[in-house]
Amino acid sequence: MSLGIEEICASGMPRGDRFLAFFEGHCRIVTGPLSGELATAAPFQVDFARHALADDVDIAILCLGRGNGKTALGSAMALAALMGIIDSQTKREVVIAARTLQQGEIAYQYVAGTIAGFPPAIQKRFTIRRAPRLKISYVDSGGAEHVLMVVASDARSALGMSPSFVLMDERGHWPVEKGDALESALLTGMAKRSGRCVMLSTSASDDLHSFSQWIDNPPVGCYVKEFRAAMSMPVDSEEAILAANPGALHKIGIPLKDQLRNGARALERGGSHLTQHRWLILNQRVADESRRVLVTVDEHMACETEDLPARQGPLIVGIDSAESASMAAAAYFWPESGRLEVMGWFPGEPDLLSRGQGDKVGDRYLQMAKRGELHQIGKKTIPVSAWLGAVVAHVHGQVIACLVSDKYKASQIEEGAALAGLNVPIVWRRFGFFSGHEDISRYRGMVLDQKIRYAPSLLFRSAAADSVIEVDTNLNQRLSKAKSLSRIDVASAAILAVAEGDRRSAIPEQKPVRYAWA
């Protein structure tokens, strides 16, 4: 026998248990084949609710694959907050925040649909409005009015609010600047009421997004529950599906057999279909298809190997010199064997941990350094001559056919090479549409045909997967650092080296002249 709503409020149970009693005793499923039946909380939902509503938690985050009932669960929490089940404050103000009003309306419809399943006596306490804004009012037994409203990712719509409960739906998909401003406005307003916030979303497309940072570096008072398939898992495997979709075993969302079929289909079609499957279903942080990426994660990983070919034949070195205090990079390509190596350098100050925190990647640069992929040189800037010396020292004893570089820093590189005593030909390229289109096309072709091989590299994988290309009206391509979300210098160097190697390999070998005029 379920407790009545008034009995739940007065029960003295912990907030999480009060919510679960309300959820399973009074909330009916709004959509799907089980519509109209009382909800039953899956084990992962029970665990999240109890931790998210604990006394020492004021921000809770649930991140899992699409279609696992997270919006339905969050909407029920918002309704419970409105009705005083998890919060007994007077004049409660509940806010549902989303990227757009259309997205927020989904959670709003869940709330309205749940109210429609209540007994008539309880329904009479609610006033549901759609204009001028999506708003629901609730009058408690003492006659006090409490409100729930929907706002989009525009901070101006949240100014002046002091919510007691905030539901942020699909936080990982909010635009960066507007989303962060709205989040800040809501959290600071919430602090005035000692309120709590629940963030729900599939993964953001990269580690730099604010939602990713909440997960990777949770502050005090923040609870995180994340379900994400490892990149090493086959995309069409049951292991990968269940790692990101805990609801699949509890009749929540897409059935497991359909998930497996969808995974096999995405693997077969490849491209953006596979990227979307990884992002939305397996909950992996991969770039979304709205940005044109150089290569997809799967295309890049197909060329990774632990069994590298030999350093064989002439060597081509692609270099991307540092801009002031940023990263410098080098890529070493042996066209004869297809082996590719990459290295990165930062100035000595600040240290890698501080730089990583400034770039919002945590300790990633430290991890790269421990793996031998990233080094520091110089003090606050990278001295070109010392850096070029370090570039060549990495392949001491190898025959360097040429260096390949973008021409915009030609004078500095020539001066640095002279100071370092390097007697190596330099091939100049222009990294805009002029040379960029050909170099990118050649690099992509070598990756797709798997004619290059490189060791698994955190530095290279981060750069390659987030390298964004711009396309002009004539379909010419160029690499765009301005639109990329992380350091892509290593990818720039790799494009230069591999494209030059491909050009040289395409030139037929000159045979000895059999006849000559006297």
pLDDT at 512: 57
Contact yes or no for 495/439 (Cβ under 8 A) = yes
Mean pLDDT, rounded, for 271-278: 81
Mean pLDDT, rounded, for 332-349: 95
SS (H, E, C) 97-132: ECCCHHHHHHHHHHHHHHHHCCCHHHHCCEEEECCC
- Packing angle between helix 101-116 and helix 70-82, nearest 10 degrees? 70
**pLDDT > 90 fraction of the chain, expressed in percent and rounded:** 58
Please tell me what DSSP assigns to residue 247: G
DSSP string, 219-230: -TTEEEEE----
- pLDDT above 90: residue 518: no
pLDDT at 288: 57
Mean pLDDT, rounded, for 218-231: 94
- pLDDT above 90: residue 311: yes
Q: What is the number of residues in the chain?
A: 518
Q: E strand or H helix at 400, and its extent?
A: strand 400-406
pLDDT at 195: 92
- pLDDT above 90: residue 501: yes
Which one of 42-51, 232-241, 400-409 scores highest in mean pLDDT? 42-51
Mean pLDDT, rounded, for 355-363: 81
Distance CA 377, CA 393 (A): 13
Pairing of strands 339-346, 328-334: antiparallel
Mean pLDDT, rounded, for 23-50: 90
Which one of 262-276, 352-366, 435-449 scores highest in mean pLDDT? 435-449
pLDDT at 408: 84
Q: Is the peptide bond before 175 cis (omega within 30 degrees of 0)?
A: no
Contacts of 8 (CB under 8 A, 6+ apart): 18, 21, 22, 25, 85
pLDDT at 449: 93
pLDDT at 507: 73
pLDDT at 269: 81
- Packing angle between helix 15-26 and helix 70-82, nearest 10 degrees? 110
**What pLDDT digit, counting tens, does each position of 113-163 carry?**
999 999 999 999 999 998 888 999 999 988 999 999 999 866 566 667 889
pLDDT at 361: 79
Largest CA distance in the chain: 114
**What pLDDT digit, counting tens, does each position of 81-108 carry?**
999 999 888 899 999 999 888 889 999 9
Say which range, 29-33, 197-201, 221-225, has the weakest mean pLDDT. 29-33
pLDDT at 289: 47
pLDDT at 74: 95
Q: Is the peptide bond before 43 cis (omega within 30 degrees of 0)?
A: no
Task: Check: pTM over 0.75? Answer yes or no.
Answer: no
Cβ atoms < 10 Å from Cβ of 161: 18
**What pLDDT digit, counting tens, does each position of 276-302 carry?**
888 899 999 886 544 577 888 888 888
**What pLDDT digit, counting tens, does each position of 419-458 carry?**
888 889 999 998 777 788 899 999 999 999 999 999 999 9
CA atoms within 13 A on the CB side of 349: 3
Q: Which of 311, 371, 316, 320 is nearest to 345 (CA)?
A: 320
Cβ atoms < 10 Å from Cβ of 333: 30
Contact yes or no for 422/390 (Cβ under 8 A) = no
Q: Is the peptide bond before 132 cis (omega within 30 degrees of 0)?
A: yes
Say which range, 72-76, 179-183, 349-353, 469-473, has the weakest mean pLDDT. 469-473
Distance CA 274, CA 242 (A): 17
